Amino acid sequence: MTQRERILRYLKENPKGITQADAIKYFGAYRLSDVILKLRRSGYVIETVDEVGKNRYGEPTTYGRYILRGEIAK
């Protein structure tokens, strides 16, 4: 199974989506945005939601969460 297939399965099983931190932790994927781009080009509808959290120093930071919304019929 490819990294892209694993991430797609994760998106299908987790309605809350995936962040870069999740991708590194679960799949060792350091270029999640590239995987998401390829999935989008394959016909998957994936929304990017900006979230605000704190970095390791307690400072505010913004990051993206990718949520699978569906698939375009081919």
Q: What is the pLDDT of residues 32-43, one digit of tens each?
A: 999 999 999 999
More confident residue, 37 or 74: 37
Q: Phi and psi at residue 69, in whole multiples of 5°?
A: -110, -15
Query: Does residue 44 carry a pLDDT above 80?
Result: yes
Summarize pLDDT for 6-30 with one digit per residue, the tens.
999 999 999 999 999 999 999 999 9
Tell me if residue 50 falls in helix, strand or coil: strand
Check residue 72 and give its pLDDT. 86
**What whole-number distance in Å separates Cα of residue 66 and Cα of residue 36?**
8
Return the H-helix or E-strand segment holding 46.
Answer: strand 44-54
Check residue 9 and give its pLDDT. 98
For 28, the token pair is 């060792």
